[in-house]
Amino acid sequence: MSKLNLAVLFGGASSEHEISLMSAASVIRGLKKEKYNIIKVGITKSGAWFYLPDTEPDMIEKNRWEEASKRPCTISVNRESRGIVCLDDGEFLPVDVVFPVLHGENGEDGRVQGACELSGIPCVGPGCASSAICMDKSITKLVAATTGVRQAEYVLATKENFRNGAIIDEIEKKLTYPVFVKPAGTGSSVGTAKAENREKLHKAISEALPYGGKVLVEEFINAREIETAVLGNAEPVVSVCGEVIPSREFYTYESKYVDNTSVTPIPADIPEEVSEKIRDFAKKIYIALSCRGLSRVDFFINKENGEIIFNEINTIPGFTSISMYAKLFAACGVEFSELLDRIIAFAMED
């Protein structure tokens, strides 16, 4: 059987650029070389695309890939030329499937997925519309509400209503301090903060608004953080539940990727009936948001009353050595290389 030409995209013009590099290195190491001809494409923070014929995963992981031999390139959106075009001499690299190991804006938000749909190249993960909806937490909430699963109460702050000052009064009328503030369009806890009073709320919103111009201010829930991994298309399967026990007050960017001291027991120490309910909710939300291929769906369990609350969904979850998605399926007996095979097969299925 001939190898699949698999384009692995990484980096990106995103606040999660460095996380993408760690994820991509793990993915490239885990791919079965006898099955895939790996076409590595790095995207700089300014949005320039480069074909990297000789770059090793270590250089990608250490954020030194731009020092390697590279060629400017772009993805073709011509359905009769499905692949990567090198801009220096016009060389064409046919592509059978794209794996966008890209987190956050300009990668996980439907833009790359839309380019693949224009070109007719199968792409790992949810499609353009689903990716865009899931990336915007405020729109995700509207769709997820149709499932009946409880979500945190929230107020949406924008540049406009923050500028005129009315939104602070609205937040204080609807919610009680402390509150959580997070950009509507980022992941990995980028721009997330806890605010205990009006002054800190104002500061947190002003610091979060540059990440896309929309900010969710949510009620504080004294909760355990539970994560599930979903895999598949028409009939998705859901992994066991895992718990995140952060090393800091909540699961910040630093506690995820810098100090590496958070604890993630898998399976989570919760009753079986609670686990089953969370897994059922994860599938309902995944289907409601028209997800395909893979996503990680996160929940809270209220420590005071045991209520299950949907938190968020990630359509291209992390694939680093500490990332939960692969760990959750490993606990189900699916090792990393096999998991990558299945994810790619689901992309090809459509």
Whether residues 229 and 244 fall in one domain: yes
Whether residues 245 and 325 fall in one domain: yes
Look up the CATH number of the domain holding residue 251: 3.30.470.20
- Cis ω on the peptide bond leading into residue 178 (within 30° of 0)? yes
The residues with which 140 forms a beta bridge, in sequence order, are none
Give the mean model confidence (pLDDT) for residues 42-48: 98
Whether residues 195 and 73 fall in one domain: no
Residue 166: per-residue pLDDT? 86
Whether residues 284 and 144 fall in one domain: yes
Task: Provide the percentage of residues in the chain whose pLDDT is more than 70.
Answer: 95
Residue 15: per-residue pLDDT? 87
170: containing domain: 154-219
Asked whether residue 129 is assigned to any structural domain, the reply reads: no
d(CA 85, CA 49): 10
Asked whether residue 128 is assigned to any structural domain, the reply reads: no
Query: For the segment 246-302, what is each residue's pLDDT rounded down to a tens digit?
Result: 876 654 555 454 556 679 999 999 999 999 999 999 999 999 999 999 999 999 999
- Cis ω on the peptide bond leading into residue 94 (within 30° of 0)? no
Give the mean model confidence (pLDDT) for residues 221-237: 97
66: which DSSP letter?
G
Give the mean model confidence (pLDDT) for residues 125-139: 97
Among 204, 219, 234, the domain-final residue is 219
Judged by DSSP in three states, 303 sits in coil
Whether residues 108 and 16 fall in one domain: yes
Look up the CATH number of the domain holding residue 32: 3.40.50.20
SS (H, E, C) 251-273: CCHHHHHCCCCCECCCCCCCCHH
Of 245, 250, 243, nearest to 196 by C-alpha is 250
Among 175, 191, 219, the domain-final residue is 219
Among 219, 242, 274, the domain-final residue is 219
Asked whether residue 308 is assigned to any structural domain, the reply reads: yes
Number of domains the chain contains? 3
Whether residues 237 and 208 fall in one domain: no
Whether residues 239 and 335 fall in one domain: yes
Of 188, 198, 197, 191, nearest to 214 by C-alpha is 191
Which phi and psi angles does 43 have, rounded to 5°?
-120, 125
Residue 258: per-residue pLDDT? 55
Whether residues 179 and 297 fall in one domain: no
Q: Yes or no: say if 68 and 59 are a contact pair by the CB < 8 Å rule.
A: yes
DSSP one-letter string for 139-194: HHHHHHGGGT--B--EEEEEHHHHHTSHHHHHHHHH--SSEEEEETT--TTTT-EE
